[in-house]
Amino acid sequence: MAKLELLIFDVDGTLADTERDGHRIAFNRAFQDAGLDWNWNEALYGQLLAVTGGKERIKYYLSNFNTEFQAPDNLDEFVAGLHKSKTAHYVKLMEAGAVPLRPGVERLIQEARQNNLRMAIATTTTPQNVTALLTNTLGPDAESWFDIIAAGDMVPAKKPAPDIFNLVLQQLNLPAANCLAFEDSHNGVRAAAAAGLKTIVTVNGYTQHEDLSGAAIILDHLGEPQQPFKVIAGYAKGFDHVNLPFLHAFHQP
């Protein structure tokens, strides 16, 4: 039977509700700085989340929601400039503590560290954003707790492609059967499942009604001893929060 050796965490929506209160705000600030009158409200942003990756999302917005806009000849350069500014705004928001970690996240990460269970990150967001979130929530050395932080453009095809998860597995030389993934979204669970990973999904406001059928279990959050999770789909084997005994029990077929 495969041993559980690695936890692979998505970042946005899984570790923290960064989409609504972090990325969205940062995009809007970048648009304003560039003199654009674009405003991505919460509802529109929910639609734009169909596409992962900030640069890809801006292009999707232009081709589907703002076709009137006369984009400059060099669209890639224009989008890259906006996105660079967006990343700077996002980092500032994290430094200001704008987005806390979701319930159970810090506890579970600390439990994994204490028990020498290895951890990795697999995300479509820009590496600087991961650094900003981890260091401002978990502490200055938090990045070193993860064996690999696979992020952003390290792979050409973003989620729902499995590439970012495959990169983690290849770099650490582990089979998918020895790992568990944590995700929050349709695109994320599709990517993890396509990499052969058993996946725990914790939903948020943007993803609760998505098709999450690749998930092994769907919870409202990871839970705390005094704040039990709600099981949306799947079997929690009598546990009411996700801890290491839960993960080992859950990892068994």
Active site residues: 10, 12
Within 75-114, the residues that bind ligand XBP by CB under 6 A are none
Q: Applying CB under 6 A, does 52 fall inside the site for ligand XBP? A: yes
Which residue type is seen at 252?
Answer: Q
**Nearest to ligand XBP of 23, 241 (CB atom):** 23
**Nearest to ligand XBP of 181, 236 (CB atom):** 181
Q: Applying CB under 6 A, does 28 fall inside the site for ligand XBP? A: no
- Output the smallest distance, CB 209 to ligand XBP, in A: 16
- Output the smallest distance, CB 142 to ligand XBP, in A: 18
User: Do the beta carbons of residue 66 and residue 38 sit within 8 Å?
Assistant: yes
Termini Cα distance of the chain? 9
Q: By rule CB under 6 A, what string of x and - marks binding of each residue 151-190 to ligand XBP?
A: -x------x-------------------------x-xx--
User: Do the beta carbons of residue 125 and residue 11 sit within 8 Å?
Assistant: yes
In the complex, which residue's CB is closest to ligand XBP? Answer: 54
Residue closest to 165 by CA, chosen among 145, 143, 189, 137: 189
- Output the smallest distance, CB 36 to ligand XBP, in A: 16
Secondary structure class of 8 (helix, strand, coil): strand
Binding site for Mg ion (CB under 5 A): 10, 12-13, 184-185, 188
| C-alpha of 60 from chain center | 19
Per-residue b or e along 37-56, where b marks 16 or more CB atoms closer than 10 Å to that residue's CB: ebebeeeebbebbebbbbbe
**Nearest to ligand XBP of 127, 228 (CB atom):** 127
Q: Applying CB under 6 A, does 53 fall inside the site for ligand XBP? A: yes
**Which residues lie closer than 8 Å to 126 by C-beta, 6 or more apart?**
54, 87, 151, 152, 153
Within 4-23, the residues that bind ligand XBP by CB under 6 A are 10-13, 19, 23
